Amino acid sequence: MGFVFADSPRRADPRLLRELADLPVLKAAVVVTGGDHGPLAPAVRELVREGAVDVVQFHGDEEPDECVAQAYPYYKALRLGSPGDAAAVSRYRCPRVLVDARDPGAYGGTGKRVSEPVVRAAAAERPLWLAGGLSAENVRDAVRRYRPELVDASSALELEPGRKDPARMKRFFRELRYE
């Protein structure tokens, strides 16, 4: 489960993570740091220290050394726009990199799909974790076609930014249960 800790209408309250700390699922704090965004927020560092968060997902313009210095364990979300961008996947010292669509105006949750050539190039670098425009209408095809280890969906599962739609979520998970 991902919990956004960046400037966003999806921003989570740290108290929620503390309430869910014993829930037996992995919990990721999604952050945007580096550049104009500054370092990892003290509240997120504390959640990691307490064990309320299992991993930090860096979703900004962080360089590999910045990620390692700020949090462990972590993984990086990379917004890729072309197959040539996929070489960056191997630069990060984390077990996996989440591949997302590049949108110059946003760091995620845009609903844009990653093109097939970009997905294929990224999958050649590392085992694939895939985000970007996944919904109940296309997740089954994406899983069959690319065989990602993990899929990440957000905006397609919402009634409005920050408010999930239970019916959309059920349809999404139902599509993941194909044979």
- The full 3-state SS of 23-65, as one line of letters, equals CCCCCEEEECCCHHHCCCCHHHHHHHHHCCCCEEEECCCCCHH
The span from the CA of 8 to the CA of 90, in Å, is 28
Six token digits for residue 136: 């109940």
pLDDT at 107 over 70: no
- Residue 166, Cβ density class (10 Å: 0-12 exposed, 13-18 middle, ≥19 buried): exposed
Q: Which of 72, 92, 126 is the last residue of a domain?
A: 72
Contacts of 84 (CB under 8 A, 6+ apart): 121
Residues 67 and 84 in one domain: no
The count of other CB atoms within 10 Å of the CB of residue 91 is: 13
Residues 3 and 33 in one domain: yes
**Section 96-125 average pLDDT:** 83
Which tens digit of pLDDT belongs to each residue from 140-155?
999 999 999 999 998 8
> Please, what is the end-to-end C-alpha distance for the chain in angstroms?
24
Q: How confident is the model at residue 106 (pLDDT cuts 50, 70, 90)?
A: low
pLDDT at 179 over 50: no
Q: Which of 43, 72, 101 is the last residue of a domain?
A: 72
Six token digits for residue 134: 């996944």
- Residue 23, Cβ density class (10 Å: 0-12 exposed, 13-18 middle, ≥19 buried): exposed
pTM (2 d.p.): 0.87
Domain interval for residue 139: 76-179
pLDDT at 164 over 70: yes
- What pLDDT, on a 0 to 100 scale, did the predictor assign at position 7? 84
Number of separate domains in the chain: 2
Q: Which of 38, 55, 72 is the last residue of a domain?
A: 72
**Section 169-177 average pLDDT:** 93
